[in-house]
Structure 1
Amino acid sequence: MNQMTPDAKPAAQTDTRFGRVIAVSGTRITGLLEGKKTPRVGELVKIATANSTVFGFVTGLSIDVPSTAGVEVRRVELEVVGEIDHRQGARAVFQRGVATYPSLDDPLIAADGEDLRRVFTRPGRQEDGARIGSLHQDPSIPAVIQPAELLGKHFAVLGTTGAGKSCAITTILRAILGRHPAAHIVILDPHNEYATAFPGQAEIVTPQDLELPYWLLNFEELREMVIGTGSPQPDADAVILNQIVTEAKRNLAPDPEAALAITIDTPVPYRLSDVAKIIDAAQGKLDRPSDMAAYHRIKERFQAMQQDRRLAFMFPGGSGMGGGTAALQGLITRDSMAKILGRLFRVPVAGRPVTVLDTSGVPAEILNVVVSLLCRMSFDFALWNEQKAPILLVCEESHRYAPEDERAGFEPTKRALSRIAKEGRKYGVSLCLISQRPSELATTVLSQCSTIFALRMTSQKDQEFLAAALPESSHGLMGELPSLRNGQAIAVGEGVALPTRIDFDRLADEHQPHSRTAPFATAWQEDQLTAADLTEIVRRWRRQN
């Protein structure tokens, strides 16, 4: 048998004992409190067994028969999370799971600072970890994430509005960047919050300088934009749209062999003027006006989209089909895919490993299409670069794009996120989901996140949904969700050493995301706008600028 070292000995009886075990049921332990010391809910305690030290979290406290006089029976409920097996001698380290369960009358002992360090610090991995805060139980002990585990199996940041999700994700990302300055992080930012959070490290992409040409759309995305749900014959229109766009793409192929390899989903440029010519030629061969209606609808929709200034990032120029200048045609047909990928995914990084995609100005009716395109491009780029540039895709308001309700959202967007969640780690694309309504998020997507940071959550429905998605050993900590303060979270999963309550580090003022609530109290003290300001507001409203 291995000789025990002083550092590996079982917990001594002289430690701060506060009770004993009176019931064991799987990972749930019931103890009888002794003396005046009472642990707190969420506190880590240890149980000394014959061969090991078992650790567990306090999940509940009770008094069987409260009394103002006489002896009271006080109980403590524990959820066991792991142990240090002292039979391993000098190699004894904390491990999740339990091989030797406590027995009746085994002592319950308060965990000290050294115990907490041994439990929450992974041996030999300190140099790989990134600090994001401190343990709530002992602020002197850092809360550390392991970027490899966190990113390799996806993660989520969940919590009610105002709980500190934006600051939490900024803290996590800045910690990762501190260890990995050549990262490739893409943030889908629907509220323009993160532009100020990464000064000097982020490429800020706004609708004014975003470039996502229409020819990058696959057929499902293009169909949603051109046909949508308003067509009286959507299936017939879709067949015609497929034929027209495929022919227009093949018109620019360098040779017949290359043209045969082009399909409706191939991301190659094509001219809108060619689309117009193909439609006109097809209409000229039709005898009945009723047969021309579908062609007319498709042509009108293309014209409307190209002339919509809000869609300038997708249809540059905006002077209508068939009437564009030579410069406009050159801009539309220029194959800029490599340049677009380089900017979106930071290749080369050039000191800016983060891309913040401000989608707040994208029209609501096509936002899902744009997000679908970006998600799909992230996966395809990771697939074809053969893991040379792994990507982290951060998706704010993820319940909007991957809803649990099958009738809501845009199915291709949900499918693109699901594909990343299920297959992304094999190809080098990681997913971070951020949501204030986890109960509305697709279970198939959330269940793929192996690390979850749960901030304050008051909705019973959201709490129950989250509990169903987490391992049973974490359920005790979930009871603390409604009482968490801003900037606190329950961290659970592969990216952290052990499920625990953490306090995120406070961000410097220059790194704060712009996510403050409107200043009603101060703004309503006196008039902030004049009648003259309304003219400028109307102008911006109408120009969508």
Structure 2
Amino acid sequence: MTAPAFLGRVGSVAGATISVRLADSVASGIAIIGGRSYRVAQVGSFVRIPQGYHDLYGVISEVGANATPETLLDDRQRGESWMTVQLVGEMVETSFERGISQYPGINDEVHLVIEDDLQRIYGIEEEGQVVIGRLAGAESIPVKIDLDRLVTRHSAVLGSTGSGKSTTVSSLLRAICESGGTSHCASARILLLDLHGEYGDALANVAKVFRVNPSGEEAPLHVPFWALDTEALLSFLMGPLSEAAFTGILDKIQSAKLAVAEGVPGVDINALTANTPLPYSLKKLWFELIDPEYRTWANKERTEPAIDVKGDAETLTPPKYQPPGAGSATPLINNQDVLGIRRQLTQMRTRLLDRQYDFMLHPGNWEPDLGGAAAEDLPELLESWFGHERPITVLDLSGVPSGVLIHMIGGILNIAYESLFWGRALPEGGRNRPMLVVMEEAHRYLGKDSDNPARTMVQRIVKEGRKFGIGAMIVSQRPSEIDETILSQCGSLFALRLTNSADQGKVKAALPDSLGGLVDTLPVLRTGEAIIMGEAARLPVRCRINPPPKAARPNSADPEVAVAWTKPRGEQNYDRLAAAWRSQNPRWTPPKGET
């Protein structure tokens, strides 16, 4: 008598790919086992191949005519059905392991995997396993991922707009924080770069939120300019510079940092560079650079400046000198310390006066005075981001101007990486308290054709971060636009619905388990459903992600057009609309006493 879970027999073996001749008993595509109905021979379903004392497990990647071995094409006319299976692991006694120690033989039986088998694989209680959802084909079986491998081997969450990507990320982060009760939550450390301001409310009870324009319990976002890469900062402030001008400015920055370096713990004056994260005054730097550009001399010895107004560094008021005389007549032009950067200094002054850049160029307590002294320094910045009591830090970058966004993300990642890298042996460092960096809308700043500081830092994290306790999670709706080096380093993939063929091809090329056939199911996945594969998953699996409560979901849902258009039109106040735009704050409210 044929076992009810029997599907067929192995017809050919080619490495990890086997072809299975289906038995006539499964022609209907439905099997009833233990009172439960199972859809058999479905792409993405699991099969079991008994091998004596242990079982091999595989995933169906193709069914039907194209699955027929080429040497048996005439079998199609004889009515035989075939399917292609990718071997992925084996059960040795009671423990499931990825990879296989032996291959099946020709005519070995192939069985449908039922819930009892799945329970043996997924039901094992191990430390570091996080429940994130339920098997799409067996809702009673929880899907777990390995937290160690998720963080250290990096991951990517990929899905088209409307596939449930943001909700999936929110659910994953909540599952990590809440796994194991408060013991996990107490020391988890996750940094989320939120480009659209979607996660502040969704993760409010497990995250500390930093925004350019904070409200409620949110903290102001400050990214001090002196902690950023100096070359990238000067490029933003001044634009292109000649080699001589760039070197001269670096010398002045280094001198300014030397002036405040005495007695600072960890600073070696002999090894100090312009990139050493020490505060200095941008206003003073601008004033010292602009003064020689306009200076004239009242005497031929060039010892007496022909100055009318001294100017003021604090208010960014430039000095005014008497115009140079004709020929050799006084006042004489200045020919000392001139770098020829008048245009660049004008742009620098404009940046410093532009209020939308205050979070970086005038960073609150982290802004130095003209002498280089700041109320708060690098330790307070790191503690505010990474040392608070909540497991998640959300940096809401929705208020950051697009022109500086790439530089800002590169700077933030540089601060996070360098601090955990150099402090890796300390209790606060990356090895003793690892960090997961989640990067939303990654295609906006990790393009494969763009060379920018954000891309450079992420490449460094995915290549070297594993050793120092820094993991990356790339979140994107356009994987085809992400740098190939970065995506190839993601050991785990959460692939939600993808309709674009180029994006599907990118996922197919990055599959760690060579299960290209599963990509064909990406366009028909339901919202909130994902194919999970790679290092963090026991088996490649189709999973229904556990949705968070409605009140804890990201602000990324589509507007309800029909409902909105049928409501009576309320009071319209376009002054508020203009104010929100000018302030670059969608939650702008008038100051108290104003309407």
For normalisation by structure 1, the TM-score amounts to 0.85
Shift of 1:381: 1.5
Once the two structures are aligned, what percentage of the paired residues are identical?
A: 32
Between the two proteins, the alignment pairs up a number of residues equal to 507
Shift of 1:262: 2.8
Q: Secondary structure at the match of 2:359?
A: coil
Q: In structure 2, how many angstroms separate the alpha carbons of the residues matched to 1:280 and 1:457? A: 54
Structure 2 segments unaligned to the other structure (5+ residues): 30-39, 214-219, 296-301, 303-331, 425-430, 586-595
Shift of 1:420: 0.7
- Residue 323 of structure 1 corresponds to which residue in structure 2? none
Alignment pair present for 1:252 and 2:260: yes
Q: Is the 8 A contact 1:20 1:105 kept in 2?
A: yes
Shift of 1:160: 0.8
Shift of 1:331: 9.6
Pairwise CA RMSD of aligned residues? 3.0
Q: In structure 1, how many angstroms separate the alpha carbons of the residues matched to 2:423 and 2:248? A: 34
* The structure with more radius of gyration: 2
Q: Secondary structure at the match of 1:312?
A: helix
- Residue 212 of structure 1 corresponds to which residue in structure 2? 223
Q: Secondary structure at the match of 1:247?
A: helix
- Residue 511 of structure 2 corresponds to which residue in structure 1? 470
- Residue 177 of structure 1 corresponds to which residue in structure 2? 177
Change over 3 Å in CA distance of 1:268–1:529 after alignment to 2: farther
- Residue 380 of structure 1 corresponds to which residue in structure 2? 418
- Residue 45 of structure 1 corresponds to which residue in structure 2? 47
Shift of 1:355: 1.0
Q: Is the 8 A contact 2:168 2:547 kept in 1?
A: no
Change over 3 Å in CA distance of 1:29–1:333 after alignment to 2: same
Shift of 1:215: 1.3
Provide, for residues 114-151 of structure 1, a one-character-per-residue CA deviation record: whole Å limited to 9, x for no partner. Answer: 21122334x5x534311100111211110001111211
Provide, for residues 55-92 of structure 1, a one-character-per-residue CA deviation record: whole Å limited to 9, x for no partner. Answer: 21122222589xxxx9732222212212235xxxxx45
**Pairing of 1:71-150 with structure 2 (within 5 A):** 72-85=79-92, 91=93, 93-121=95-123, 123=124, 125-150=125-150
- Residue 351 of structure 2 corresponds to which residue in structure 1? 305
Q: In structure 2, how many angstroms separate the alpha carbons of the residues matched to 1:201 and 1:95? A: 34
Alignment pair present for 1:314 and 2:360: yes
Q: In structure 1, how many angstroms separate the alpha carbons of the residues matched to 2:268 and 2:464? A: 30
Q: In structure 1, how many angstroms separate the alpha carbons of the residues matched to 2:576 and 2:116? A: 63
The one-letter amino acid of 2:231's match is E
The one-letter amino acid of 1:33's match is L
Q: In structure 2, how many angstroms separate the alpha carbons of the residues matched to 1:290 and 1:260? A: 28
Q: Secondary structure at the match of 1:222?
A: helix
Q: In structure 2, how many angstroms separate the alpha carbons of the residues matched to 1:287 and 1:116? A: 84
Match of 1:264 among 253, 274, 285: 274
Q: In structure 2, how many angstroms separate the alpha carbons of the residues matched to 1:330 and 1:535? A: 42
Shift of 1:251: 3.1
The one-letter amino acid of 2:225's match is Y
Change over 3 Å in CA distance of 1:446–1:240 after alignment to 2: same
Shift of 1:498: 1.1
Shift of 1:488: 0.7
Alignment pair present for 1:190 and 2:195: yes
Alignment pair present for 1:391 and 2:391: no
Give 1 or 2: higher helix fraction: 1
Q: In structure 1, how many angstroms separate the alpha carbons of the residues matched to 2:268 and 2:99? A: 57
Provide, for residues 351-396 of structure 1, a one-character-per-residue CA deviation record: whole Å limited to 9, x for no partner. Answer: x111111101101100111101110111112113222332111101
Q: Secondary structure at the match of 2:537?
A: coil
Structure 1 segments unaligned to the other structure (5+ residues): 1-11, 86-90, 319-325
Q: Is the 8 A contact 2:529 2:543 kept in 1?
A: yes
Point out the more displaced range, 256-265 or 52-61: 256-265
The one-letter amino acid of 1:199's match is A
The one-letter amino acid of 1:61's match is V
Q: In structure 2, how many angstroms separate the alpha carbons of the residues matched to 1:107 and 1:327? A: 74
Change over 3 Å in CA distance of 1:528–1:234 after alignment to 2: farther
Shift of 1:252: 2.9
Q: Secondary structure at the match of 1:313?
A: helix
For normalisation by structure 2, the TM-score amounts to 0.79
Change over 3 Å in CA distance of 1:402–1:524 after alignment to 2: same
Q: In structure 2, how many angstroms separate the alpha carbons of the residues matched to 1:540 and 1:213? A: 25
Match of 1:31 among 20, 27, 50: 20
Point out the more displaced range, 125-134 or 192-201: 125-134
